[in-house]
Amino acid sequence: MTHLPVPADPTVLGPALDLEALADRAQAFAAGARAAATRKAYASDWRHFEDWCRTAGLAALPAAPTTVGLYLAAQAEVLAVATLTRRLSAIAVAHRMAEHAMDTRHPAIRDVMRGLRRVKGVAQVHAEALTVPLLRRVLAGCGDRLIDSRDRALLLVGFGAALRRSELVALDHADVAVGPEGLRITIRRSKGDQEGEGQVVAVGRTGTVTCPAGAYAAWIAAAGISEGAVFRGINRHGRVGRRLSTDAVSEIVQRRAAAAGLDPTLFSGHSMRAGFATSAALAGVEERLIMRQTRHRSSATVRRYIRDGELFARNLAAEIGL
């Protein structure tokens, strides 16, 4: 990917300005327009496309629409439609940054993608929701060790605040205020808040053994955390280490699910967030209130959770006499 072009005539912006420095700054801001995870995925996707073109003896930049269509078809057996769609976006972005035209609506590309959607389908595989009954089952396996205290707090805070993995691991001590009513959690930046305006989520105190506020306070006290990252790794000697990664969150969920006798492959770091939305829907919580907690901008995703929660609200098979 190339740098943004510098105007040929320096007097356009004034002779005292360092245009090279301004171009570098503009390039940095442009790069920051997308989330770090998206930039990393796009970079990986672009490298894969370049390697494929090199092997096939085709130009990657600029690439002909037929080349892109051939690439998508070549990857159809091993990649999901969602991944292929992201690959196409990465290719288009790389061309745009290099000031080359890339029309993703060209028939050589559009028709291939349409055909792939018809053949492969577009339904995504979603993580199993860690609903309240399942969460209680998982938490029942937590003992009195420091790692148990951390996992209990992580699961309950992640569930109660409907946090994404990235939001959960990004929490600092200063972001969580503990009060008589519960937790006030400030999310500095998230997938739905790329501009970094910040969002505040409240998790009410329940006074039960599964109270997120109680679990959080117990973990902070046991680990002696007064600043910095809230959720951290713990080594085999019981020493608290550095901030957890997003992958570590998924591993914790799966390990705890397995210990509870559940199939760990069905669960992921997203299971807590999905579990909250599904449980709230099952409890009859209004859609707007669920969206306020999950911070979904689109109601389509939340409605899927509501549908999942209502699947067995009535046993129609029994009602008709089966």
Which CATH code for domain 132-310? 1.10.443.10
Specify whether 296 is catalytic: yes
Catalytic residue among 87, 165, 273, 295: 273
Q: Please tell me whether residue 121 adopts helix, strand or coil conformation.
A: coil
How is residue 232 written in tokens? 């951290």
Residue pLDDT tens, the chain, 322 long: 444 444 444 444 444 556 566 555 555 555 554 566 778 888 899 999 999 999 999 999 999 999 999 999 999 888 888 889 999 999 999 999 889 999 999 999 999 999 988 887 655 556 788 999 999 999 999 999 999 999 999 999 999 999 999 999 999 999 999 999 999 999 987 555 455 567 899 999 999 999 999 999 999 999 999 999 999 999 988 899 999 999 999 999 999 999 999 999 889 998 999 899 889 888 888 888 888 888 887 777 777 777 766 666 666 677 777 7
How is residue 59 written in tokens? 């130009």
Label residues 174-184 b or e (16+ Cβ within 10 Å = b): ebbeeeeebbe
Whole-number pLDDT of residue 10: 45
Specify whether 273 is catalytic: yes
Specify whether 270 is catalytic: yes
Whole-number pLDDT of residue 158: 96
Q: Kindly report the CA angle at 151 between 273 and 237, in degrees rounded to 5?
A: 150
Going across the sheet that includes 182-187, the strands are 176-179, 182-187, 199-204
Specify whether 188 is catalytic: no
Whole-number pLDDT of residue 4: 44
Query: CB neighbours of 172 closer than 8 A, spacing ≥ 6?
Result: 227, 228, 229, 230
How is residue 270 written in tokens? 């997203």
Whole-number pLDDT of residue 191: 58
Whole-number pLDDT of residue 82: 84
Matching residue, tokens 């089952």:
137
Domain boundaries, the chain: 34-120, 132-310
Amino acid occupying residue 236: R
Tell whether domain 34-120 is in CATH 3.30.420.480: no
Catalytic residue among 25, 173, 191, 307: 191
Report whether 161 contacts 203 (CB < 8 A).
yes
Specify whether 305 is catalytic: yes
Whole-number pLDDT of residue 12: 45
Catalytic residue among 42, 71, 216, 305: 305
Signed CA dihedral, 17, 23, 26, 28: sign only = negative
Distance CA(263)–CA(128), nearest Å, equals 10
Catalytic residue among 152, 164, 165, 256: 164
Cα-to-chain-centroid distance, residue 190: 9
Whole-number pLDDT of residue 24: 56
What does the pLDDT look like over 242-269, one tens digit per residue? 999 999 999 999 999 999 999 998 899 9
